[in-house]
Amino acid sequence: MKIARFSRLGFILAAAGSAVGLGNIWKFPYITGIYGGGAFVLIYLFTVLLIGFSVMIAEMLIGYMGRKDGVTSFEELAPKHSGMWKFGGFQGLAGLFIMTFYSVVIGWIFHYIATSIFYLPSSAKEAENVFTTMLHTGFTTQLFYHTVAFVWITYVVNKGIKGGIEKMNMILMPSLVIILSAMFVYATTLDTFSKAVDFMFLPDWSKINSEAFVTAVGHAFFTLSLGMGAIMTYSASLPKDANIVKNTLWVVFLDTTIAIVAGLMLFTFLYQYGAGPAKGPGLVFISLPAAFYEMGVLGNIFAVLFFIALAFAGLTSSVSLVEPMVQYFIDRSGWSRLKASVSMGLFFYLIGIIVILSNIDGYKEFLTWGGKNLFDWIDFTTAAIMLPFGGLIMAIFVGFVIDKKKVESIMRPQLKFAFDIWYFSLRYIVPVSMFVVMLNLMGII
């Protein structure tokens, strides 16, 4: 079946939408806070350029050359009698498993949009009580908003590349940028903006250890939406005259810029209203709402805008997590897009209900083992094993399996003198880095 083509701008926004997700606005600021700010940011930027950039080019190249779903692209690009490589294309399964808890988190964000209009907690302690009450007793609330997320995502994916995914990103990505830019501009007027800048860009090496390096490598990789087949599937819809390197640069630039802008904005607000940067995963749902409360009515407006921006980031990433397996079933099983979209949607929706129950009092003890509940296990398995392994497979496939002459014919005119550096990174630096990240996240080293 012929795949609909993105426009050049549509592809950049869709790929950036895939990359720009909750990791940029939620995770990047809090791990920057944990590891002391500027030093971690420098390591992160270095790994984005050295590792993330290399892998994204490789993933785009596979999709661009294969012009099919991930599994078919791997099969057709591999040498003859190398059927085992078809399994490399099943990276899309990682996206579906991520969606089982990602949709739940988007539901939390929808809930916070609704409640922030009229109510903000007056202290971090009150904010923590509100969040934990919703998490452990609010099954109906979480189910409702999880259902809203499921319906939205399934609808957009069913509309296809042009009518759904590209159109949504054409609206949500500029809206996300406008909202964050407006809040960032306001943050620059506050006295604590310079303190946030110092924290983000003046290196404090005292908090840097081997774990910080591994975390930076892992986050640089994950935030670019690599190893889950999304960029590969989107790249199958690139125009034939597309410049892979330029497209990659745009996506990396937008992804990294939004992460840094979000970090500067959030740290400015937190410093201004007496909170510190190292608040961990609760920064967005606990520390930030309490900081917004101190702003008065303006705080309600900012809270709603912020959570809308966060929802936009989550939704643009979500469709890219579902699309690879949708495209697989369309290409390989002859399913209609409606059947494939609804089937994949029901997969993450139904498992997502069990994920919600894994946090609910009275159920969580039955869905917890080894010190982790189902929510944590899915998060851990995808982050520590599936995504790094997907990146490792792509690096090896492009670096060692696909004929170098084919790779060089496409990439050397675009990379020029940097081709040899990129190819060396793909063959040696990326595989070693991904292997170390997996071992670290699994607790082996």
Q: pLDDT truncated to tens, each residue of the chain (445 aa)?
A: 445 566 667 777 777 777 777 777 777 777 887 787 888 889 888 888 888 889 999 999 999 998 888 888 888 888 876 667 878 888 889 989 999 999 999 999 999 999 999 999 988 789 889 999 999 999 999 999 999 999 999 999 998 876 787 788 888 888 888 988 998 999 999 999 999 899 888 888 887 887 787 777 777 777 787 888 888 988 888 888 889 999 999 888 888 888 888 888 888 888 887 665 555 556 788 878 888 888 889 899 999 998 998 888 888 888 888 999 999 999 889 999 999 999 999 999 999 999 999 999 999 999 999 889 999 899 888 877 888 888 889 999 999 999 999 999 999 999 999 999 999 999 999 898 888 877 776 677 6
1 within a domain of the structure (yes/no): no
Go through 159-189 and write b for each residue having 16 or more CB atoms within 10 A of its CB, e for each that does not: bbbeebbbbbbbebbeebbebbeebbebbee
At 442 the pLDDT is 66
Strands of 290-430, DSSP E: 368-369, 372-373
Residues 200, 139: Cα–Cα separation, whole Å: 38
2 within a domain of the structure (yes/no): no
Strand partners, 369: 372
SS3 category, 372: strand
Residues 227, 391: Cα–Cα separation, whole Å: 5
Residues whose CB falls within 8 Å of the CB of residue 248, separated by 6 or more in sequence, listed in order:
53, 56, 57, 60
Please provide residue 215's backbone torsions phi and psi, each rounded to the nearest 5 degrees.
-65, -40
Q: Which two tokens stand for residue 67?
A: 């012009």
83 within a domain of the structure (yes/no): yes
DSSP 368: E
CA 272 from chain center: how many Å?
Answer: 28
- Which residue range is the domain that position 251 belongs to? 8-441
Residues 248, 246: Cα–Cα separation, whole Å: 5
Q: Which two tokens stand for residue 260?
A: 């840094």
pTM: 0.87
At 420 the pLDDT is 94
CB contact at 8 A, 285 and 112 = yes
CB contact at 8 A, 399 and 411 = no
Total domains, the chain = 1
At 31 the pLDDT is 80
407 within a domain of the structure (yes/no): yes
CATH of the domain at 434: 1.20.1740
269 within a domain of the structure (yes/no): yes
**What torsion, rounded to 10 degrees, do the Cα atoms 289, 296, 187, 283 define?**
-10
Q: Which two tokens stand for residue 350?
A: 């139904």
At 336 the pLDDT is 95
> What is the identity of the amino acid at 365?
E
Q: At what angle do helices 70-77 and 297-333 cross, to 10 degrees?
A: 50
3 within a domain of the structure (yes/no): no
pLDDT per residue as tens digits for the range 78-97: 887 666 787 888 888 998 99
432 within a domain of the structure (yes/no): yes
Instruction: Give the length of the chain.
Output: 445
411 within a domain of the structure (yes/no): yes
E strand or H helix at 78, and its extent?
A: none
Residue with tokens 């997969």: 347
